[in-house]
Amino acid sequence: MNNIRLVLFFLIIFTACGTKIYDYKDSDFSERFGSEKFGRVKLNGVWGFINTKGKEITPIKYDEASKFSGGFAEVNLNGKWGVIDKTGKEITPIKYDKIGNFVEGFADVGLDGKWGYINAKGKEITPIKYDENLDFKDGFGRVKLNGKYGLVDTKGKEITPIKYDSIGDFKDEVADVKLNSKWGYIDKTGKEITPIIYDGNNNFSEGFGRVRLNNKYGFVDKTGKEIIPIIYDNASNFSEGFTTVNVGGQWVNTGWYSDYYEFKGGKWGCIDKTGKEVVPLEHNSESSAKKAYKDLNIK
């Protein structure tokens, strides 16, 4: 009985000193900002945030709240979402149906079935008009409208028309794009550096992109120029200044799966970035051609 009285005494003292006893408090405060860390608390069915000193940095009023991530947290009130910063300030109106995480300083927001982006100040940098958008990457956001893709920059400007069937990641400042089953490349200004004419292409590597046309392979540079003629039956990406190429081989269905093919036959060699044949096309395997190139460079 004496122990119970002692506990009740301390609870009264803590309450008198202004310390709240919450229904829930995060056991691990999620992020550190300088010397500050913040955690969620719940009281009477609603949520807010406190710092490590127990100070409430927001009112305890939200129906839902996420942990801080990247300096921001999402909060829900009456079925709508908004964003608060590390000071507890609501940097957006609480009006969105969905809000994604901030990536590269931007978050995707959804409203009435459409999507757009906000920046770290909570400003909408694009209209909320897209059918889909993806996290920013390399300074650009992919957006989708009427089944087609385009890119927006950090100011929300559409740097490409919304016309592509797909857009790849930027590698060496260049991205591959697909339109009507054909492929090409764009640069970071949104300019098409090649015509959209290829049957296939790969990400750039060491300044060159591998392209395929009529089952032959070659390479383009970052200006879009076909620097290596499209004459090879197979080719790998450039690595360490060279690539392996094949003439006379073909893709063969091995029978393992209906869509499983292996490349067989022909002769392999190596070319450098000028297209010069530095290992003759006389090897029976790609690995043999690679070894011959490395042996040349050791001598």
Q: Which residues contact 48 (CB under 8 A, 6 or more apart)?
A: 40, 41, 56, 57, 58, 59, 60, 61, 62, 65
Boundaries of every domain in the chain: 23-95
User: How far, in Å, are 41, 198, 294, 299 from residue 205 at the CA level?
Assistant: 49, 18, 19, 26
pLDDT tens for 55-90 read: 999 999 999 999 988 889 999 999 999 999 999 999
Helix (H, G, I), strand (E, B) or coil at 289: helix
- 12 membership: H or E segment, kind and range: helix 2-16
What DSSP letter does each residue of 186-232 carry, written as one string? Answer: EETTS-BSS-S-BSEE---BTTBEEEEETTEEEEE-TT--EEEEEEE
User: Tokens standing for 173?
Assistant: 């400042």
* Per-residue model confidence (pLDDT) at position 54: 87
* Per-residue model confidence (pLDDT) at position 52: 84
Radius of gyration (C-alpha) of the chain in whole angstroms: 29
Predicted structure pTM score: 0.83
User: Tokens standing for 245?
Assistant: 């190429």
Q: 210: closest CA among 190, 189, 239, 181?
A: 239
* Per-residue model confidence (pLDDT) at position 181: 96
The amino acid at residue 82 is G
Alpha-carbon span 150 to 7, nearest angstrom: 63
* Per-residue model confidence (pLDDT) at position 14: 41
- 121 membership: H or E segment, kind and range: none
- Alpha-carbon dihedral angle through residues 160, 161, 165, 166, given to the nearest 10 degrees: 10
* Per-residue model confidence (pLDDT) at position 7: 38
Which parts of the chain sit beneath pLDDT 70? 1-19, 28, 30-36, 258, 298-299
- Alpha-carbon dihedral angle through residues 15, 20, 26, 28, given to the nearest 10 degrees: -60
